[in-house]
Chains A and B, each alone.
Chain A
C-alpha cells in the first residue's frame, strides 16, 4: 500500500537545517498494523505526516522511492495530496479536545469530511459506528461537552468518515485515562479486524504490543530496529530497544534500576551534603550497550542502591533473587541510616515516625464534593502512591496535605503537630519541611530566573546550588541557564533539587514523570528512589500510571470519585485487589508482555 525508501525530512531552524528524519524505509501492506515507536524528537510523527504530505511548507522532504497505492507520489503538489487526505488516509491525533475544532460541533466536523470528499453518509451513523451512545445528541455537542473517551471516538469517526483504507493514529490514547485507553484500543483493534490498515505512532510499548503486527523503533530520525512485535519486544537486539524495554516501570521492575545511564550510586551513609562518587553526565552515555547488559544481568550494585524499595520484592526470577536478598541486607543498613538521619534532623520526632497523618479529609466546592473522607498516613522514608483517574480528587488531596486549600472537614497533622486550620504565618517556619514537585516544572519556575537562582532561593543561607545539582545528576554548567534552555528531564531534576534544598521530610510529587519520555522517566524514578534511600525523605507520589506506582511505592491508595476505595501495601493491592474498581483499573492497563531478561 505504501512503500518509502530513504525518507529524509529536514526543517530550517534559524539559519541551519535540522534533519528530523534521516533515511527511513517504511512499507505498509494492506490490512496490517504497523507501529512507529520512539521518544519525543525521534521523528516518528514527522514520518507519519509525510505519508499525507502534511510536514508543512517549511519542511524539505526527499526520498529515493515513494509509492502510495502503486502511484509515484514524489513531486506531488498540494492539490494532489489534498485528494489523498481523508479519502486515502485518516489522521487521529492525541487529544480530541484540541484536535477537534473547539468552536464547532462534532457533527459539523464529521460533515466537513463528507462534504469535502463528496461522500454520502451522515455523522450520526458514523458516531454510532464508533460506539458513541446517543449519537444524535452527541453530534450536536461541542468537544468540551464530551468526555475524553467520547471525544476521541468522535475524532476517529471524523477520520474514517470518507472511508479511507488507512488510519494513522498518532499517540491516540496518550491523553486518556487507563480505562478509557483500553476502550479506544479495543475500538482500534476492531477497525483492524475489519481489514483497515493501521499506522500507530506511540511512545508506549505496552500500547503497541497490544495492536501492532510489526514495530519500527525510531531514534534520532532513524529506524534502529524493526520486526514482528512479539519477537522484537521479547528479544530486542539493539541496545536502544533494550533500554526502552528495560525502562518501562512495572511490578516486575521493583527494586531494579530502570535507567542504564543514571548517576552513579551513592553510599547510603554518604548523606545529604556528601560529594557524590561520580559526576557522570546522566543523559549521554556513549557506551550504552555494556551498561544495559549489566543492568539486565541483575547487577547487584544496581539493585542494592534502591533496594530499600525491594523489601517486599517477591516473585522475582531466580536469577534476580540473589540480588534481592542482598538488597534486603542493605535495606536494613539503609533504614539504620534513616534513623540516624532522622534523629539528627528532628530529634523530637524520633519516637513517632509518622510524617503526615490526614484524617477524614473532605473538600466540597458548593454542592460538589471533590474529596470525601480520605485518611492518609505517610511515615518517614516511605513512598505512598496515590492512584486514580482524572477527576478522582487525587490532586485535591495533594493540595489539602500541602496546605494550599483548606479542607471542608477533617484535619492534617504534619510531623506530629496540627497543620490544617492554622494561619499561613504560623505554618511558615515548618513549610520548608514539606515540598512539592509538579508535573510541569516549566510553569512552576520563574522563566526569568536562572537555575542558580531557582535552587538558591530554596537553600539555607550559606549553601550553594552546585553540590545539590550534582546530586540530582546535573553538572554545574546548567547553573546559569534558564528553564526554557533545559530539556524536560533536566527541568524535573532541577525541580527535585529545589525540593530537596530545604531538607524536607516529605515531598509531594504530583504526576512528576507524566510529561517525560520513558527513558528520562526511568532516570527520574531512579533518582527519587535514591533520594529516599539516602535521605529517608518520604514521598507522597500521585500518578495515574499504575506501572510507575507499582515500581516505586511501598503502599498505595486507590481513589475514585473523591474517596479511597482501597489501600494497603502495594503488592497486596495490585496482586490481590479487593475492590472491583481496582480490578477494573488493573485489567485496563495494557501489559508489555515480555519476559524480563
Chain B
C-alpha cells in the first residue's frame, strides 16, 4: 500500500513537471499572458516581473512551484487574478456531477445490454448500435440529442446548469460511447467465461441461464472491464470539455479551454495535477477491485 502511494506521488510529480516543461516551451511571453488585454507600459511590465518573480531563473521558479504545490498552494491565475484553487473549486462540482453520472449511466447501460442481448438477433442489433456509438464523435451525438429532445420535443433545457433536467442530455451524450465500448468488452468476457468448464458444472446443477450469467460469467467478465477504468476517466474528462461547450454548461472543461488559449499557466498546471490525482486514485481503486473480484490475486 505504501509503495502504491509512493508510485502515485511519482506519477503526480511527473505529470506536473511534464506540463510545466510543455508550457515553458510554448510560444509567447508570460508577461504578455498576465497583462492580457490590460494596459501595457514598461512600468507595468517591470511591476509584473517583480510581483511574479519572473526575473528568477526557470529552475528556481520550477522548484518554487513544486514547493508551493506540495503545500497545497497552486498559485494564482494570471488571467483572473484569483487563487487557482478558488477558480477550479468553483467549477469542479458541475464537471464531477456530469462525469460521475455519465460514468455510472454508461456502466449500468453496458451491464444491462451485455446481459440481456444474448439471443443472436438482439446481439447483432446491439453490436451494430455499439459500433455506431463508439465511432460517432460525442459532440455530434450531443447535437443530435439536443435537436431532437430539446428543440423539437422540448423535454429538456437547451443549455445551462439548472438542476437534474439539464444534466440528462449531457450525461447521456457522454455515457453512450462509454457504454458502447464497455458492452463490447463485457460481452466478449461473458462469451469467454461461458466456454469455461465451470459453466458446464453450473448448468449441470440445474441453474437457469440468467443465474449462470449473473452469478458466474458476469464476474469473470468484469475483470477486463475494470482495466478500462483509467481509460474511462480520460474519455469522461476529455469528453466533458466538448460536451460542456455544446450544452453551454459551466465546468472544468470551459475553464481548461480558456486557460490553455490564454496561456494561464497556473490554471493549466492545476488542472493537469488534479487530473493526474484522480487518475492515480481511480487506478488504485481498480487494483483494489481486482482483489475483490478475483481471489486468486490475493496473497495468502
A83 vs B208: C-alpha distance in the bound complex, in angstroms? 10
Given A93-B197, A158-B201: A103 and B293 interface contact (C-beta under 8 Å): yes
In whole Å, how far is A54's beta carbon from the nearest beta carbon of chain B? 6
B197–A112 touching, CB < 8 Å: no
The answer, yes or no, to whether A123 is at the interface (CB within 8 Å) is no
List which B193-209 residues lie within 8 A (CB) of chain A: 196-198, 200-209
B202–A83 touching, CB < 8 Å: no
B219 is contacted by which of A86, A87, A91, A103 (Cβ under 8 Å)?
A103
List which A88-107 residues lie within 8 A (CB) of chain B: 89-91, 93-95, 98-104
The answer, yes or no, to whether B55 is at the interface (CB within 8 Å) is no
The answer, yes or no, to whether B296 is at the interface (CB within 8 Å) is yes
Given A103-B219, A142-B296: A91 and B204 interface contact (C-beta under 8 Å): yes
A116–B207 touching, CB < 8 Å: yes
B216–A113 touching, CB < 8 Å: no
In whole Å, how far is A439's beta carbon from the nearest beta carbon of chain B? 20
B202 is contacted by which of A101, A142, A145 (Cβ under 8 Å)?
A101
The answer, yes or no, to whether A570 is at the interface (CB within 8 Å) is no
List which A102-144 residues lie within 8 A (CB) of chain B: 102-104, 112-113, 116-117, 142, 144
A91 is contacted by which of B196, B200, B208, B220 (Cβ under 8 Å)?
B200
23 A–B contacts, CB within 8 A, in A order: A54-B203, A54-B204, A83-B206, A85-B203, A93-B197, A95-B197, A98-B197, A99-B201, A101-B198, A102-B294, A103-B219, A103-B293, A103-B295, A104-B216, A112-B202, A112-B215, A113-B205, A116-B206, A144-B295, A155-B201, A158-B201, A158-B205, A159-B204
Interface size on A, residues (CB 8 A): 34
A82–B296 touching, CB < 8 Å: no
Other than A101-B216, A113-B205, give 16 A-B pairs with Cβ distance below 8 A.
Answer: A49-B200, A78-B209, A85-B205, A91-B204, A94-B197, A99-B201, A102-B295, A103-B220, A103-B294, A103-B295, A116-B207, A144-B295, A144-B296, A155-B201, A158-B201, A162-B205
A117 vs B216: C-alpha distance in the bound complex, in angstroms? 18
B198–A100 touching, CB < 8 Å: yes
In whole Å, how far is A78's beta carbon from the nearest beta carbon of chain B? 8
A90–B207 touching, CB < 8 Å: no
The answer, yes or no, to whether A52 is at the interface (CB within 8 Å) is yes
A112–B205 touching, CB < 8 Å: yes
B204 is contacted by which of A83, A86, A95, A104 (Cβ under 8 Å)?
A86
A98–B205 touching, CB < 8 Å: no
B residues less than 8 Å from A104 (CB atoms): 216
A residues less than 8 Å from B202 (CB atoms): 101, 112
In whole Å, how far is A352's beta carbon from the nearest beta carbon of chain B? 49
A residues less than 8 Å from B162 (CB atoms): none
The answer, yes or no, to whether B81 is at the interface (CB within 8 Å) is no
Given A103-B293, A112-B215, A142-B296: A98 and B198 interface contact (C-beta under 8 Å): yes
A100 vs B220: C-alpha distance in the bound complex, in angstroms? 13
A145–B300 touching, CB < 8 Å: yes
B206 is contacted by which of A101, A117, A155 (Cβ under 8 Å)?
A117
Taking Cβ atoms with an 8 Å cutoff, the residues of A that contact B are 49, 52, 54, 78, 82-87, 89-91, 93-95, 98-104, 112-113, 116-117, 142, 144-145, 155, 158-159, 162
* Top 10 A-B pairs, shortest CB-CB distance: A91-B204, A86-B206, A85-B206, A86-B205, A142-B295, A101-B198, A99-B197, A113-B205, A98-B197, A99-B201
Given A82-B208, A142-B296, A144-B296: A99 and B203 interface contact (C-beta under 8 Å): no
Q: Chain A residue with minimal CB distance to B199?
A: A101
B residues less than 8 Å from A83 (CB atoms): 206
B residues less than 8 Å from A101 (CB atoms): 198, 201-202, 216
List which B145-204 residues lie within 8 A (CB) of chain A: 196-198, 200-204
A residues less than 8 Å from B215 (CB atoms): 112
Is chain A's binding surface mostly helix, strand, loop or mixed?
A: mixed
A102 vs B220: C-alpha distance in the bound complex, in angstroms? 9
Q: Chain A residue with minimal CB distance to B296?
A: A144
A144 vs B49: C-alpha distance in the bound complex, in angstroms? 66
In whole Å, how far is B261's beta carbon from the nearest beta carbon of chain A? 49
Q: Chain A residue with minimal CB distance to B295?
A: A142
A113 vs B211: C-alpha distance in the bound complex, in angstroms? 12
In whole Å, how far is B98's beta carbon from the nearest beta carbon of chain A? 34
In whole Å, how far is A274's beta carbon from the nearest beta carbon of chain B? 47
Given A142-B296, A145-B300: A99 and B198 interface contact (C-beta under 8 Å): yes
List which B252-300 residues lie within 8 A (CB) of chain A: 293-296, 300
A294 vs B58: C-alpha distance in the bound complex, in angstroms? 93
A54 vs B200: C-alpha distance in the bound complex, in angstroms? 8
**Interface core residue of A91, A101, A113, A142 (most chain B CB under 10 Å):** A101
Taking Cβ atoms with an 8 Å cutoff, the residues of B that contact A are 196-198, 200-209, 211, 215-216, 219-220, 293-296, 300
A103 vs B289: C-alpha distance in the bound complex, in angstroms? 13
A145 vs B202: C-alpha distance in the bound complex, in angstroms? 20
A102 is contacted by which of B198, B204, B300 (Cβ under 8 Å)?
B198
A465 vs B207: C-alpha distance in the bound complex, in angstroms? 53
In whole Å, how far is B144's beta carbon from the nearest beta carbon of chain A? 38
Q: Chain B residue with minimal CB distance to A112?
A: B205
B residues less than 8 Å from A145 (CB atoms): 300
A residues less than 8 Å from B293 (CB atoms): 103
A residues less than 8 Å from B197 (CB atoms): 93-95, 98-99
In whole Å, how far is B259's beta carbon from the nearest beta carbon of chain A? 45
A residues less than 8 Å from B206 (CB atoms): 82-87, 113, 116-117, 162
A49 vs B204: C-alpha distance in the bound complex, in angstroms? 9
B residues less than 8 Å from A84 (CB atoms): 206
In whole Å, how far is B9's beta carbon from the nearest beta carbon of chain A? 30
Given A101-B216, A103-B220, A112-B215: A91 and B295 interface contact (C-beta under 8 Å): no
A93–B295 touching, CB < 8 Å: no
A residues less than 8 Å from B196 (CB atoms): 98
Q: Chain A residue with minimal CB distance to B202?
A: A101
B residues less than 8 Å from A78 (CB atoms): 209
In whole Å, how far is A165's beta carbon from the nearest beta carbon of chain B? 15
In whole Å, how far is A45's beta carbon from the nearest beta carbon of chain B? 10
B residues less than 8 Å from A85 (CB atoms): 203-206
B residues less than 8 Å from A82 (CB atoms): 206-208
In whole Å, how far is A174's beta carbon from the nearest beta carbon of chain B? 12
B residues less than 8 Å from A113 (CB atoms): 205-206
Q: Chain B residue with minimal CB distance to A88?
A: B206
Given A103-B219, A103-B295, A145-B300: A116 and B205 interface contact (C-beta under 8 Å): yes
In whole Å, how far is B182's beta carbon from the nearest beta carbon of chain A? 20
B residues less than 8 Å from A91 (CB atoms): 200-201, 204
In whole Å, how far is A77's beta carbon from the nearest beta carbon of chain B? 13
Q: Chain B residue with minimal CB distance to A114?
A: B205
Q: Chain A residue with minimal CB distance to B207?
A: A116
A residues less than 8 Å from B295 (CB atoms): 102-103, 142, 144
A residues less than 8 Å from B201 (CB atoms): 91, 93, 99-101, 155, 158-159
B200–A112 touching, CB < 8 Å: no
B residues less than 8 Å from A159 (CB atoms): 201, 204
In whole Å, how far is B121's beta carbon from the nearest beta carbon of chain A? 14
A155 vs B197: C-alpha distance in the bound complex, in angstroms? 12
In whole Å, how far is A210's beta carbon from the nearest beta carbon of chain B? 24
In whole Å, how far is B273's beta carbon from the nearest beta carbon of chain A? 37
In whole Å, how far is A240's beta carbon from the nearest beta carbon of chain B? 28
A residues less than 8 Å from B203 (CB atoms): 54, 85
A162 vs B205: C-alpha distance in the bound complex, in angstroms? 9
B residues less than 8 Å from A49 (CB atoms): 200
A328 vs B218: C-alpha distance in the bound complex, in angstroms? 63
A321 vs B211: C-alpha distance in the bound complex, in angstroms? 63
B residues less than 8 Å from A54 (CB atoms): 200, 203-204
Given A93-B197, A103-B294, A103-B295: A52 and B208 interface contact (C-beta under 8 Å): no
